[in-house]
Amino acid sequence: MKFRNLGKSNLPVSEVGLGCNNFGMLIDLEESRKVIHKAIDLGITLFDTADIYGNRGGSETILGRVLGTRRKDIILATKVGKPMDDAGKMKGASRSYILSEVEASLRRLQTDWIDLYQIHEPDPLTPIEETLRALDDLVRQGKVRYLGCSNFSAQNVAEACQLSGELKISGFVSCQDQYNLLVRSIEQELLPAMESHKLGLLPFFPLAGGMLTGKYKRSEEPAKGTRFAAWKDLARRYDTEANWNTVERLDRLCAERGYSILEVAFGWLLSKPVVASVIAGATKPEQVDMNVRAADCRMSPEDITAIESRLDEC
């Protein structure tokens, strides 16, 4: 396993991260235990979860129960901000909510500190200064080491980075956003903003919900137990004519150059200097192994150019 620093921080993270949104949702405690231990055994250090994952709290709870003494071996990232109740009252990035919810996450995770605490989405009702000052207090108290954001626009990111610099308080070191061979919209504005402020990118859905693994076929029903079968909204988002055309172009490139589409998905992302770790979920230990082996396949600059050319044809 290779490591990269997370943006301008001094926090090294494994090039492959484990997305923990399946825990407590698609797989139970014992199935999650196998995935977690396999990931650590393979050298994965970045474990990414959120308070809402696993039907609100389930993922953090499972991680807390499973990690035990292995907590010290990983970089634990979680998020705050999305609704934790049906009424929509427990959400946002206000000072009072952040200070309350971080304690709930720490209890569920059974830990004294969070390595990377991320605002899950912008809160239009709370001034960003209030959010940043609350997060800075958590860093000063030692409950959080580094800060990140997710689903922020380029303007949101620039404003937050500028303000934290002016106030001389802890600021974001990373952004977590959707980025893969089929979804590249962040290249227009967000990536340049991140590069300008020296933030690291943690791309989620790097395998496009499974479309970049070969497990789905055009016009065929997804197999039981897969994300597309469980999450219909996700399936509708990716199951488009344009995406299938892109996948077929990539399949032809893989046949020509001797790669799997999984290797191409990881290799293309890891060719981007801004990418710190590719966060991929798994429901089985074998999937973790496949992801790590795929990421270990290094592509030449010519391979990356060929991939970009196929994408530009779409």
In the chain, what are the domains?
3-208+262-299 (3.20.20.100)
The predicted structure's pLDDT at residue 314: 65
Query: Please, is 9 exposed, middle or buried when counting C-beta atoms within 10 Å of its C-beta (0-12, 13-18, 19+)?
Result: buried
Catalytic residues: 53
Q: Is the pTM of this model over 0.85?
A: yes
Query: Please, is 189 exposed, middle or buried when counting C-beta atoms within 10 Å of its C-beta (0-12, 13-18, 19+)?
Result: middle
Q: Tens of pLDDT along the chain (314 residues)?
A: 999 999 999 999 999 999 999 999 999 999 999 999 999 999 999 999 999 999 999 999 999 999 999 999 999 999 999 999 999 899 999 999 999 999 999 999 999 999 999 999 999 999 999 999 999 999 999 999 999 999 999 999 999 999 999 999 999 999 999 999 999 999 999 999 999 999 999 999 999 988 998 888 887 888 877 778 877 888 888 889 999 999 999 999 999 999 999 999 999 999 999 999 999 999 999 999 999 999 998 889 999 999 998 888 76
Strand partners for 27 = 23
Amino acid at 198: K
The predicted structure's pLDDT at residue 217: 84
* Cβ atoms within 10 Å of 161's Cβ, excluding its own: 21
What are the backbone dihedrals phi and psi of residue 132, each rounded to the nearest 5 degrees, phi first?
-65, -40
